[in-house]
A and B are shown apart, each in its own frame.
Chain A
Amino acid sequence: MEKLKFAFYWAASCGGCEIAVLDINEKILDVTKQADIVFWPVAMDVKYKDVEAMPDKSIDVCFFNGSVRNSENEKMAKLLRKKSKILVAFGSCAHEGCIPGLANLHDRQEVFRKVYMDCPSVKNESHAVPAPSVKVKEGELHLPEFYDTVKTLGQTVEVDYVLPGCPPPVDLIVKAVEAIATNKLPPKGSVLAPNKSVCDECPRKREKKRISKVYRVYEKPPEPELCLLEQGILCMGPATRAGCGAQCLKVDMPCTGCGGSCPGEMEQGAAMMSALASILGVDEEKQEGYDPQKLISQVKDPVGTFYRYSLPASILRRRVKKE
């Protein structure tokens, strides 16, 4: 049998997804038995023009991590879509925008000002910021254009499958590769993770489902076996898709939501807001001195909490732009 052709690409991402591919350890040998890797910028010297020269649909599966934040990301997303039979949004950035997507609370100008001028460790007396093209005496130089808005891969090109997580858990990657090799992939558009929430995989005990106070992680050592949300520590578990085996919960850290929205849920942020509002202050609501505004004010940076991994994929997608 002819070997499959795989490609890996990173757009706006941290590189963690690339490490996750290597984290499958010796199973990578099984992968290379079944497939040739034809493009992988982090590990191989293949130029963009080599990809352009490949026939259309000649790559069997392309694993694309990272969100789309500049014109290079967009160009490669479109190119790899054209060259690949199956395009997998690999990891939270490609899936829902992830941490780079939080830049959607700002715009290009604000990001440039912060990064290239106001940042305390930066000395930039000429106030130089990246521009798409610049003339020097040797000629004109080009850089990719930096966009105002971070987009997900699915908002840029058609995506066939999604592997959620920041980065995707090894177990899910192995299962996905096996499904590809044995031709047992689910219908197109599927998320290659279980159809349940992190709470379903979490070993902690849930008892009363009502809280009176919200704690930030550093404010309180958690009880070892009790649900963190019931202890007042904000945990995104109820609004986050499973597949990770509740790894964070097993080491006393709350879920921050990297698995993305639960099946059938329109957006993760709204789902968590709804869940939290349902349990916060239930015991106090009919008592004297009940102050809902005070309760809600305990949630610091609500967008950064509820939309940490999913701002570009949310209903509003970004902060409203005003002229």
Chain B
Amino acid sequence: MTEAKTEFEPKIVAFLCNWCAYAGADLAGVSRIQYPPTVRIIRVMCSGRVDPVFILEAFKDGADGVLVAGCHLPSDCHYLTGNFKAQRRVLLLKEVLKQFGIEPERLRLEWVSASEGDRFATVIKDMTNEIKKLGPNSLRTEGGN
């Protein structure tokens, strides 16, 4: 067997809300829109349900990127304001990640509606490219103690 140098394939954990982003991802699938197989989707009821603990655990366990996606601002949220809470939570966590030495670009927040299958695919393509540039999560490669 020859030792082939494989290109770095990022692992992205995506928390998608049940009402918009997950439906958007589903639409991307049934519409057969192509996007990179880098994403592992976890469905949650609302982007506001995503506890910072979920995101920190994902990074600790070696995720190269974490996507949180929900319904569009200001008025699409099924629970009225869950998306606003998610937005502030993610912004706050990005500041914390900076201090922990993790590039804040690895955490991304996007709004994807149920009709935006193409947008979901674009988001994944974009994010995959950006994380490829950043390289693997250092917690994955060096353990980070």
**CA of A123 to CA of B112, assembled, Å:** 58
Residue of B nearest to A306 (CB): B96
Hey, which chain A residues are within 8 Å of B85, CB to CB?
277-278
Q: From DSSP, what is the main secondary structure of chain B's interface residues?
A: helix
A320 engages B142 (CB within 8 Å): yes
Complex Cα spacing A273 to B55, Å: 12
CB distance from B141 to the nearest CB of A (A): 9
Interface pick from A33-41, A51-59, A69-77, A294-302? A294-302
Closest chain-B Cβ to A83's Cβ sits at a distance in Å of 28
Contact with B along A210-240 (1 / 0, CB 8 A): 0000000000000000000000000000000
Could you tell me how many residues of chain B have their Cβ less than 8 Å away from some Cβ of chain A?
A: 29
Which residues of A sit under 8 angstroms from B87, Cβ to Cβ?
292
A315 touches B138 (CB 8 A): no
Q: Let me know if A277 and B89 touch, CB within 8 A.
A: yes
Stretch at the interface among B34-42, B97-105, B113-121: B97-105
Q: Is B145 an interface residue (CB 8 A)?
A: yes
- Among candidates A266, A292, A293, A318, residue contacting B144 with C-beta atoms closer than 8 Å: A318
Interface residues in A273-323 (C-beta closer than 8 Å to B): 273-274, 276-278, 280-282, 285-286, 292-293, 295-297, 299, 301-303, 306, 314-323
Inter-chain CA distance A277–B144, complex, in Å, is 28
Q: Are B88 and A317 in contact, with the CB atoms below 8 A?
A: no
B142 in contact with A316 (CB, 8 Å): no
What A residues does B52 contact at CB under 8 A?
Answer: 269-270, 273-274
A296→B145 contact, CB < 8 A: no
B33 at interface (Cβ–Cβ under 8 A)? no
The answer, yes or no, to whether B134 is at the interface (CB within 8 Å) is no
Q: Which residue of B lies closest to A286 (CB)?
A: B74
The answer to whether A316 touches B59 (Cβ under 8 A) is yes
B88 touches A292 (CB 8 A): yes
Given contacts A319-B101, A320-B100, A320-B102, contact A266 B53 (CB under 8 A): yes
**Bound CA span A148–B74, Å:** 45
CB distance from A92 to the nearest CB of B (A): 20
A285 to B92, CA, bound (A): 16
Contact with B along A241-282 (1 / 0, CB 8 A): 000000000000000000000000011011101101110111
Q: By the criterion CB–CB under 8 Å, are A321 and B144 in contact? A: yes
> A149 vs B85: C-alpha distance in the bound complex, in angstroms?
33
Q: Are A320 and B101 in contact (CB under 8 A)?
A: yes
How near does chain B come to A44, taking the closest CB pair, in angstroms?
35
Q: Please name 19 further chain A to chain B contacts, defined as beta carbons within 8 Å, in addition to the given A282-B81, A316-B139, A320-B144, sorted by A numbering.
A: A148-B145, A270-B52, A270-B56, A274-B89, A277-B92, A278-B88, A280-B88, A285-B81, A292-B91, A293-B91, A296-B91, A316-B60, A316-B100, A317-B145, A319-B101, A320-B101, A321-B101, A321-B142, A322-B101
In the assembled complex, 25 residue pairs joining A and B whose CB atoms fall closer than 8 Å, in A order, are: A266-B53, A267-B56, A269-B52, A273-B52, A273-B96, A278-B88, A281-B84, A282-B81, A285-B81, A286-B75, A292-B84, A293-B91, A296-B95, A297-B95, A299-B92, A302-B95, A306-B96, A315-B53, A316-B100, A316-B102, A316-B139, A316-B144, A319-B100, A320-B144, A321-B101
Measured CB to CB, the residues of A under 8 A from B are 105, 148-149, 266-267, 269-271, 273-274, 276-278, 280-282, 285-286, 292-293, 295-297, 299, 301-303, 306, 314-323
